[in-house]
Amino acid sequence: EVQLVESGGDFVQPGGSLRLSCAASGFTFSSHAMSWVRQAPGKGLEWVSALSGIGNDAYYADSVKGRFTVSRDNSKNTLFLQINSLRAEDTAIYYCAKSAPGSFRSDYWGQGTLVTVSS
Amino acid sequence: EIVMTQSPATLPVSPGERATLSCRASQTVNSNLAWYQQKPGQAPRLLIYGASTRATGIPARFSGSGSGTEFTLTISSLQSEDFAVYYCHHYNNWPPYTFGQGTKLEIK
C-alpha cells in the first residue's frame, strides 16, 4: 500500500525558513517523480514543484522559484522541500504526491502538513 | 503557463441526477488531463487520468471525456458521497502543471 507522510509544517514569521519532509513507502521510490502541491486556507490547489525520480530534474512554480528547493534522498525514501524567505501568502497545507510511472501525473497524495506564516 | 478554467464554480444538483463539469485549457494539453475529488479535510483523490481513464477503484458512474483544450467530467447518478470539490489538472509536457480553480458540487 502506498503511503506518503508529510512533516515539518510549523508556525513561522515572515522571512523565516522551514524544511518539509515526505516519507514514502509501499512503492519503489526512486522510480517515480514526486511533486509538492499546496492549498491555502479555503482556496484551490496550487502546483508548487516536481522532481524526477533520480533527482536531476527539478521544476518550480514562478511564485516560489528562487525561494523553494526540492530534493530527495532515495536511500531513505524521503522527499524534501526547503522553503526560504517565507511570506504570508505561503500559508497553506503542503501535500506531497507520487507520480505515475513516466509521468508527472499525481496518483497518490499524502495528508499534508500545515505551514502558517504570520508575525 | 497553461491556464485551466473550470465551470461552473458551483453546481447544485439533486442526488440521483447527472452532473456535468467542464474544464478548458488555454492551449492544448493533448489528453494529459486528470480529475481529482477533494472532500473537506481530506487530500485530493485521483478519479480520472488521460482525460478518460478511471483510476483504480473509481466507480463507473464517473466518466471523463475530451482532448486538446476542452474536457468534461460526468457523474451519471449522484450519490451522497459525491458532493465535494472537483479539480482538473494538466500534466502535459512541461511545467508548471496547473490546476483549475475547482467546481464545488453541492446538494440542491
Range B23-28 average pLDDT: 97
CB-CB neighbors (< 8 A) of A110 in chain B: 43
The pLDDT tens digits for B63-75 are 999 999 999 999 9
pLDDT on residue B95: 87
Rounded to whole angstroms, how far apart are CA atoms B47 and A85?
Answer: 35
What are the CA-CA distances from residue A54 to residues A27, A29, A73, B99 (Å)?
A: 15, 9, 9, 25
Give the residue on B whose Cα is nearest the Cα of A41: B41
Chain A residues with at least one Cβ partner in B under 8 Å: 35, 37, 44-47, 50, 59-62, 95, 100, 103-112
How many Cβ pairs within 8 Å bridge chains A and B? 61
CB-CB neighbors (< 8 A) of A6 in chain B: none
Q: Do B101 and A44 touch (CB under 8 A)?
A: yes
- Of B18, B17, B19, B14, the C-alpha closest to B6 is B19
Contacts 24+ apart (CB under 8 A), A72-76: A72/A29, A72/A34, A74/A29, A74/A30
Confidence band, pLDDT 50/70/90 cuts, at residue A30: very high
The pLDDT tens digits for B66-100 are 999 999 999 999 999 999 999 999 999 888 999 99
